[in-house]
Amino acid sequence: SPSSGNYTVGNTFLLQVKANSGGVAVNAADGTVVFDPDKLEVVSISKTDSVFSLWVQEPAFSNSLGTITFAGGKPSPGFTGAAGVIVNIIFKARTAGTANLTFAAGSILADDGKGTNILSNLGGGTYTLSGRTVIPLPTAPPTYAPITTPGGVPAAPVVNSLTHSEEDKWYSNSNPEFSW
């Protein structure tokens, strides 16, 4: 989640692997997520707010292989719900194009004493990665005629303040306004 989105190259974004128990109490899940390492890079993976508290295989990733793996569980009575967070993944968009996330494998086991795999659908995602907008710089910087004194030395700016008019006085107003 989300299953789609638009992201800018160079920026990071959060994706969550979630489980829908279909109304059945579940006490374990595992999976292998596959992504294109040319398009995406995992910055971090965490178990924060996960419905699972026990980990047979700590969430791990390989940016060179483009994989994320995990295997976790929860003591009885397990988890029942439509959108239980399993892991949080921070991705960085590397190059422009379309990036797909798919599950190469996975299971969700019922808390029925038999470990019945109730998985009926492995989701995925498609993400549009767009290049950064580049604003061209002017070919030459604007030129300004400096104000000079009769000796050719640039004049110091004259600084004024309506809120702090005396430079040697202390003011309780911590939001000064200056002009020059």
Q: In 10 A of CB 63, how many CB atoms?
A: 15
Instruction: Determine the pLDDT at residue 147.
Output: 60
Instruction: Determine the pLDDT at residue 177.
Output: 73
Residues 42/68, Cβ–Cβ less than 8 Å: yes
Q: What is the DSSP string of 117-134?
A: B------EEEEEEEPPP-
C-alpha 88/C-alpha 31 separation (Å) is 13
- Of 108, 121, 116, 86, give the one whose Cα is nearest residue 28: 108
Residue by residue, pLDDT tens for the chain (180 residues) are: 999 999 999 999 999 999 999 999 999 999 999 999 999 999 999 999 999 999 999 999 999 999 999 999 999 999 999 999 999 999 999 999 999 999 999 999 999 999 999 999 999 999 999 987 666 666 666 565 556 656 666 666 667 666 767 777 776 777 777 666
Instruction: Determine the pLDDT at residue 139.
Output: 65
Residues 18/1, Cβ–Cβ less than 8 Å: yes
Going across the sheet that includes 4-8, the strands are 4-8, 124-130, 97-110, 26-35, 67-73, 54-62
143 token code pair = 């030129």
Instruction: Determine the pLDDT at residue 172.
Output: 75
pTM over 0.85: no
